[in-house]
Every structure is written in structure tokens, then in C-alpha cells.
């Protein structure tokens, strides 16, 4: 990564548009994207606004990548479920495409499927603009997020990703994440990783 040019910083509310673009354009096989653009935007906005979450962006002339993590996955899932904008988007989808809206309810099971005793912190999403890939931007974003979590006294962090997303699986192993188990979500294999921060 060209450290002279690319700046890593905390996301601000005004970054929502760029983060939303990176999510919608490049997130690998995302079920959330099927819920519609407004749903995803509300979801990302709630995470950016949460004091329990770490959202960082990589900035060159504009935002070229982002990462989201939470120090307390239970708190953020509860906050997302109670968000009136997210709920109204979900009901809107239920009326138009009930099968997709109902499938999304599988997310309620996610905390149980990805449960690891004593581990509350979790990496949520990462996406880098294609023209900035292969320059270690994701590596720097992950390391900076783990550092921010260490500062918040987090001891262990987990992450789950689609088994077929080979690039991100390689990236996580390189950053020291250790495979814990495989589980199924939305009919697909997910790999759960953990990482000791202390
Ligand atoms: C996955 C992603 C974030 C990687 O970003 P990146 O900035 O290109 O990654 P880095 O340059 O830091 O690469 C670090 C490591 O990842 C792995 N990696 C990166 N690109 C790879 C590729 N095309 N093929 C195989 N491994 C790759 C390698 O192990 C690499 O280490 P190395 O350079 O020493 O070989 C990026 O490809 C992306 O945004 N993908 C789409 C979004 C996504 O799938 N997000 C994950 C789901 S939440």
C-alpha cells in the first residue's frame, strides 16, 4: 500500500454514501443486497452510528475501501432489529417479495450459529474498490480495526465468511484468524474464524 497517499481513518456519517456504494457494488454474494438498497443503507448507517462498532475507511482522492467491526455483536444485532427504518424496509419487502423478506429472518439464528463462548467482538464487512485491490489496503484496514478493538480491551474477535469467497478466506488466515467451524446460512457454507488479540 502506498502509505503516502492512502489514509486510514474513522468513518464519519458523511461517508455513508461511499460505504453504501462499496457494499452494493462489491460485497461478495450478499443476501442483504437482495433486501434492496434502502434496507442496506439503513443497516450500514446504524453500524456507522454505533459507539460499539469500529468503522474505518481507506481514503485516497475519495473513499476506496471500508471495514466494519463490532465490539459487541449482540448489542448491534439487537439495535438493528429494533431500528424503525430497517423494520419498515423489511415490511415493505415482505409485501413485494415475501420469500426474500422471510429468508432474511434466518439472520435471527446467526448469533447462535456463530456462537463462540466469551467472544463478543466480530468483524462484519470489508470491501475495497477493485482498482485498489492487491495493494494491502484490506490488510491495513483489518490490522487497524484489531488495534482499535485492543484499545477497547477486546480479547478475542471472530468473523464468518462464505466458504466460497477464497480471497477473503486467504486474507483472514494471513491476518492470524484460525478456522473454528463450518455452519450453514442462507443455504450456503460459512466458515467461522477466531483470533486472539492478547
Ligand atoms: C477481499 C478483499 C477485501 C481483499 O482486499 P485487498 O486490499 O485486495 O487485500 P490485500 O491486498 O490486503 O491482500 C491480502 C491477502 O489477501 C489474499 N488475496 C488478496 N487478493 C487475492 C486474490 N486475488 N487471490 C487470492 N488471494 C488474494 C492474499 O493472501 C493477500 O496476501 P499477499 O498479497 O501477501 O498474497 C477485496 O478483494 C474485496 O473487496 N472483495 C470484495 C468484497 C468481499 O468479498 N468482502 C468480504 C466479504 S465481507
> Which DSSP letter does residue 49 get?
T
Is this structure's pTM higher than 0.85? yes
Distance CA 172, CA 106 (A): 25
pLDDT digits (tens, 9 = 90+) for 20-37: 999 999 998 999 999 999
Q: How far is the CA of 90 from the centre of ligand 1 (A)?
A: 32
Confidence of residue 2 (pLDDT cuts 50, 70, 90): low
CATH match of 7-151 with 3.40.630.30: yes
Pocket perturbation via mutation, ligand 1, pick of 139, 144, 171 by most ligand atoms within 8 A of CB: 171
Taking only the tens place, the pLDDT of each residue in 51-81 is 999 999 999 999 999 999 999 998 998 889 8
Given a cut of 70, whether residue 3 has pLDDT beyond it is no
Nearest CA to ligand 1 atom 48: 125
Average pLDDT over residues 4-18: 94
What gap in Å lies between CA 40 and CA 86, rounded to an integer?
8
Output phi, psi for 107, to 5 deg. Answer: -60, -25
Percent share of the chain, pLDDT over 90: 92
Q: Which three cell numbers stand for residue 17?
A: 454514501
> What pLDDT digit, counting tens, does each position of 96-110 carry?
999 999 999 998 899
Is residue 136 lining ligand 1, measured as CB closer than 6 Å?
yes
Q: Quote the pLDDT of residue 187.
A: 92
Q: Which three cell numbers stand for residue 152?
A: 477497547
- Look at ligand 1, atom 1, and give the residue with the nearest C-alpha: 168
Structural contact between residues 106 and 29, judged by C-beta atoms closer than 8 angstroms: no
pLDDT at residue 4 is higher than 70: no
pLDDT digits (tens, 9 = 90+) for 177-195: 999 999 999 999 999 999 9
Q: Which atom of ligand 1 is nearest to the CA of 135?
A: 11
Q: Any idea where the domains of the chain sit in the sequence?
A: 7-151
Residue-averaged pLDDT of the chain: 95
Alpha carbons 145 and 123: distance in angstroms, whole number: 8
What does the pLDDT read at residue 176? 97
Amino acid at each position: 500500500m502506498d502509505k503516502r497517499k492512502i489514509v486510514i481513518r474513522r468513518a464519519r456519517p458523511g461517508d455513508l454514501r461511499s460505504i453504501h456504494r462499496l457494499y452494493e457494488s462489491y460485497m461478495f454474494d450478499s443476501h442483504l443486497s437482495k433486501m434492496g438498497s434502502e434496507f442496506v443503507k439503513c443497516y450500514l448507517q446504524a453500524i456507522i452510528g454505533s459507539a460499539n462498532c469500529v468503522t474505518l475507511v481507506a481514503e485516497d482522492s475519495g473513499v476506496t475501501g471500508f471495514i466494519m467491526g463490532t465490539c459487541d455483536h449482540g448489542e448491534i444485532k439487537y439495535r438493528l432489529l429494533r431500528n424503525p427504518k430497517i423494520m419498515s424496509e423489511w415490511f415493505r419487502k415482505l409485501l413485494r417479495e415475501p420469500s426474500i423478506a422471510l429468508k432474511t429472518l434466518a439472520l435471527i439464528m446467526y448469533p447462535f450459529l456463530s456462537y463462540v463462548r466469551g467472544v463478543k467482538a466480530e468483524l462484519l464487512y470489508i470491501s475495497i474498490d477493485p482498482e485498489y485491490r492487491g495493494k494491502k489496503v484490506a490488510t491495513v484496514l483489518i490490522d487497524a480495526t484489531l488495534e482499535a478493538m485492543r484499545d477497547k480491551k477486546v480479547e478475542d474477535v471472530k468473523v464468518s465468511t462464505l466458504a466460497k469467497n477464497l480471497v477473503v478466506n486467504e486474507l483472514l488466515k494471513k491476518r492470524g484468524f484460525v478456522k473454528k467451524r463450518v455452519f450453514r446460512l442462507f443455504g450456503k457454507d460459512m466458515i467461522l474464524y477466531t483470533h486472539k488479540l492478547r
